[in-house]
Homo-oligomer: A and B are copies of this chain.
């Protein structure tokens, strides 16, 4: 921790105190240029952070903090494919997957192979064991092998796509049955997606898929045409009966939560075609260039990271809400939960020392306008500061306009609030007697000052989704860098897997804690009755 950094933190402490009693209304009243000053255009995607609790000096101090942490070194390291994942001594080079002509030869070769397979599938030139062409693609994967393609298929797949694409992630038989009920073994292809090819849930689902195919097509039917693997361990895939020709590689230097751009995106390419998939990569590539080259105070992902730091450390926000005004983006928060919380849910810096203060907030959210009728009450009148990203899409249709207007109304109202005097005036204007006005007015007060950024997309296309997701990837990386964290390992998750192996199949075992033992006994009792 260098001295400049510590001094800047102190300066930010003092600066924060100076702003603490200034309302967001006052920030807007005091600066007619506030919107112009605090929004950016990134190739048509608009980022408005004027409703955040910042002034020009805040941004200057935060950018200085990024310089004191030598964030430029991080950016250069990502671009070059350095060993950013220092604990595991591995690169975190997902940007190479979308580098276009600059991509490594192996990446270009994989895209070429993916394209051939996708074209054959979409054009009905991929017969199953009975000769019927494949029409239905079911992805078996969990975490990074599920969330990215799942979100992107929901966001981008047209209703009349030549291939239906579904996802099965977990262990619950109900989830798998839900998809099997709508599928025909003769025309169904499974994509078994697991970097290590040891993921418990994915392998259990792959075994069930094989059994379902055999039950439908006959014990001796050749199943290779019904199987594709995406993995870093092609031999393990072969052991399951997936030929090398159907196995797409996932390089060691791609982390699961950054892998949509790799062959993990195969089901998405099936749903939108390879041209669409390449558009997604192009959108992300455009953001990569911006991230490498734009000065920090005009760099969208860097500003997103710095605002996140400001909101958690100085405003004390424990959570961050992602609110897309789009049904197609209804799983965006679920996707970003992994990206953000698995990357930066850490307490230890790369050098093994404890990180000072809090790191990643709880990321949550859901599709709007449903949240308006559910949890927005707490945003208005609860006791907690909740920074938000409001995501809106421009569109001229009546419903698109209504969604847009709703997004603007909520973020404005949450920022402006309603004072006691305004609540009184409103109740009096409704003709309520004075004592009722006095009784009710405190219940109508909204504190305001909820900070938000608005991301305005011109349309929801593969290119724009590529931009949006790359923005969050770089935000997460930059924020981890500012905290001194390695955003690319996940030792906590691995501890959970260890414990699962200890408990799996165990009975009442004296080495286990009393709660676990009590619950295991309770299950036994219930199963006996």
Residues of A within 8 A of B (CB): 25, 28, 32, 34-36, 39, 44, 46, 48, 50-51, 87, 142-144, 146-147, 159, 169-175, 177-178, 181, 199-201, 204, 256, 318-319, 325-328, 334, 337-338, 341-342, 344-348, 352-353, 355, 357-364, 366-384, 386, 392, 394-397, 399-406, 408-416, 418, 439-447, 454, 456, 458, 486, 489-493, 495-496, 498-500, 502-505, 512-520, 522-523, 526-527
Contacts and interface: CB of A to CB of B under 8 A. Distances in A.
A327 B172 contact: yes
A342 B377 contact: yes
Contacts of A440: 87
A170 B204 contact: no
Contacts of A170: 327, 367-370
A360 B372 contact: no
Nearest to A417: B495
Contacts of A355: 383
Given A493-B380, A519-B48, A523-B404, A399 B171 contact: yes
Given A144-B373, A366-B334, A505-B405, A444 B495 contact: yes
Contacts of A402: 171, 200, 204, 504
Contacts of A360: 378, 382
20 contacts: A44-B526, A46-B519, A87-B439, A143-B370, A159-B181, A256-B373, A346-B377, A347-B447, A348-B442, A358-B383, A392-B519, A394-B523, A394-B526, A396-B527, A404-B523, A409-B496, A410-B499, A412-B503, A412-B515, A415-B515
Given A142-B370, A352-B442, A496 B380 contact: yes
B142 A369 contact: yes
A403 B382 CA distance: 35
Q: Is the interface of A mostly helix, strand, loop or mixed?
A: helix
Q: Which 5 A-B pairs have the closest CB atoms?
A: A345-B378, A380-B492, A143-B373, A318-B318, A345-B382
A374 B444 contact: no
Contact of A516 (B200, B334, B408, B442): B408
Nearest to A513: B28
Contacts of A319: 318-319, 362, 364
A377 B493 contact: yes
Contacts of A410: 496, 499-500
A412 to B, nearest CB: 5
Contact of A341 (B353, B374, B414): B374
Given A144-B373, A515-B454, A347 B503 contact: no
A153 to B, nearest CB: 13
B32 A514 contact: yes
A495 B370 contact: no
B327 A399 contact: no
A377 B492 contact: yes
A382 B369 contact: no
Contact of A352 (B32, B327, B364, B439): B439
Contacts of A403: 171-172
Nearest to A356: B383
Nearest to A331: B366
A334 B383 CA distance: 20
Given A367-B170, A403-B171, A34 B412 contact: no
A177 B204 contact: no
A515 B172 CA distance: 46
Given A172-B399, A362-B364, A402-B171, A408 B374 contact: no
B28 A378 contact: no
A204 B399 contact: yes
Contact of A342 (B25, B334, B374, B394): B374
Contact of A503 (B87, B147, B353, B408): B408
A500 to B, nearest CB: 4
Nearest to A486: B443
Contacts of A489: 443
A202 to B, nearest CB: 10
Contacts of A379: 345, 492
Contacts of A347: 381-383, 445, 447
A420 to B, nearest CB: 10
A86 to B, nearest CB: 9
B328 A495 contact: no
Nearest to A502: B409
A413 B341 contact: no
Given A170-B370, A522-B46, A341 B377 contact: yes
Interface centre among A175, A403, A514 (most CB of B within 10 A): A514
